[in-house]
Amino acid sequence: MQRSWDKDKLIRVNMTEQTVAVEPFPDEWKLLGGRALSAKILLRDCDPTCDPLGPGNVLTLLPGVLSGTAAPTSGRLSVGCKSPLTGGIKEASAGGEPAQDLMKLGYRGIIVTGQPADRSKLWGLEVDVNGVRLIAADSYRGMLNYAMCARLLANYSSDASVISIGPAGEMLLSGASVACTDRSKDRRPARHAARGGVGAVMGSKCLKWVVVDAGKAPVRQPADRPGFAKFAKAFSNDYLTKGRHETFKWGTSAVVPIANMLNTFPYRNRTEGQNPHFERLDGARIRESFATRGGEMHACMNGCIVRCSNVVHDASGDYLTSALEFETLTLLGSCCDINHWEDVAELDRLCDELGVDTIETGAAIAVMMDSGGIPWGDAERVKTLLRDDVRQGTELGRLIGNGAVAVGKARHHPRVPVSKGQAIPAWDPRSMKVVGVTYATSAQGADHTAGLIVDPVISGRDAVIKSQEVQIVNAATDSSGMCTFLAVSLDELRAFYGHFYGHEVSRETVADMGWNCLADEWEFNERAGFTAADDVLPACMVEEGIGPEHSIKFDIAPELTALAKVRQQHGESLYRGGAAG
């Protein structure tokens, strides 16, 4: 019997030669997808010393192993490249529909290389049941993401989805994101692979969009259909009825009060860990608006059981944005002393339209405010900054679009909270030591999705061990296509893989996949010139405290933090069925 993965393929797009080739997917990569596959491809095909915006960089658009199947919430897309923001390897992931659609067509991913000699033209990539082709896309130049996707999708079936960049990606701004359309009726480009400037790399390839039209292609079928269906049903029931779902029932915006209490709701460029006006940013205010304005919680992708995305309407009852996340409320809101969720919702929509990372953009604006360039809390000035300056590519707009480090250098301002050149997310390393170790040691730079444990008590060596363990689990999860909000364990991952492929997949195999992904990423960065000196947090996170008497600081010594990258210390409890796994 023909198995659904027997004829899996990879799409290779050479933008220099303007050619498209489809090749068989290597069998030895069968268990690799998403982030782990991206690391493997980049380490093999991309010179780590290349110019991130030059022809030598490689862009990967990769679904996870389980994407396109009936596994719940398994359709995340990994976007990989050498980052123009950090100078190292980067993987950023997004929800939405494109990953599911690619896998239904049997494509394990898209690899984009080279760069057109004529940089004045833009291109689009069509993927459907009839094949893959490059077509001219100049008519979409400069278009904002929402209008562009609406116009583009009018030419395809109602089943089509889009991967796109906005004007920021076209301008090669280091904070540019890659958008994916969601499963709403309007197929909104509201899900972003946002971090590290992946949109700038897509722009450097002169690739404006990828449209994937899977038509009525069925979901991918497992080898053990009864076993897969039974386990998926049991997993979903467990998630929805035994407490796991409660964490994200109302989306990440609901954690604002808890984060503020725990000194991890940064205020005024992280000079404080608590915001005295936090209640105006609390996600409860968004939920209250549903009754009068409309809006709801929804699933960003087909088969999602988390449903963490809040659909936000404006005062007139018209759609404004989705989802308004905790990270955005923190970085574009609290960190800039902008303390009304409605203002942050407008800023979030502007960022999605332009195609920029809300974390990096918020951090850049906070540095600008901290240095006296913009008054604290001036929401209208920030809206104008995004709507006009970034959109038009003015000197100021490009500065903000290039991120926090660029602003700090231009303003000669010392407090620039970054790791490896990337802005630190909401979860503060001083109060959350585990995530501080992750920010310092991850090849991705400051990225909470690389390994987050919300526990202010864990410190010292225990924080290092927990960071390492959660980094392994998150790398494995990112490779599966499943959402980290499912809190899937290594045993659950191996069960899904085993039923899909029809043979047992050991716990050690899945844990090693996560570890090897990290090792590949670290090796890429080492080849790019990174050293142990890059695995430290900036002085403002070590010397400046928050909380009572500003006493809470990141105080884990570099020599202890370094153990997170040592193989023999890499979380043996994961192999024995420890809590982190």
Confidence band of 568 (pLDDT split at 50, 70, 90): low
Confidence band of 242 (pLDDT split at 50, 70, 90): confident
Mean pLDDT value of segment 199-228: 97
Query: What local confidence, expressed as pLDDT, does residue 3 receive?
Result: 64
State the sign of the Cα–Cα–Cα–Cα dihedral 385, 389, 395, 399. positive
Query: What local confidence, expressed as pLDDT, does residue 249 receive?
Result: 85
Phi-psi region of 275 (alpha: psi -120 to 50; beta: other; left: phi over 0): beta
Contact 508, 394 (CB under 8 A): no
Distance CA 94, CA 193 (A): 5
Report the SS3 class of residue 93. strand
The string of pLDDT tens digits covering residues 137-180 is 999 999 999 999 999 999 999 999 999 999 999 999 999 999 99
Residue the block writes with tokens 């899904």:
496
| Percent of the chain whose pLDDT exceeds 90 | 95
Contact 330, 426 (CB under 8 A): yes
Query: What local confidence, expressed as pLDDT, does residue 244 receive?
Result: 77
The least confident of 2-16, 61-75, 320-334, 470-484 is 2-16
- Whether the predicted pLDDT of 569 surpasses 50: no
Confidence band of 570 (pLDDT split at 50, 70, 90): very low
Query: What local confidence, expressed as pLDDT, does residue 506 receive?
Result: 95
Token pair listed for 576: 């024995």
pTM given for the model: 0.97
- Whether the predicted pLDDT of 571 surpasses 60: no
- Whether the predicted pLDDT of 6 surpasses 80: no
The least confident of 227-231, 387-391, 450-454, 568-572 is 568-572
The least confident of 69-78, 245-254, 486-495, 500-509 is 245-254
- Whether the predicted pLDDT of 208 surpasses 80: yes
Report the SS3 class of residue 294. coil
Mean pLDDT value of segment 275-290: 97
The per-residue pLDDT of the chain, averaged, comes to 95
Query: What local confidence, expressed as pLDDT, does residue 574 receive?
Result: 72
Domains of the chain in sequence order: 9-213 (3.60.9.10), 241-419 (1.10.569.10), 429-581 (1.10.599.10)
Query: What local confidence, expressed as pLDDT, does residue 577 receive?
Result: 67
Burial class, 464, CB count within 10 angstroms (exposed 0-12 / middle 13-18 / buried 19+): buried
Query: What local confidence, expressed as pLDDT, does residue 30 receive?
Result: 95
Pairing state of beta strands 123-128 and 207-213? parallel
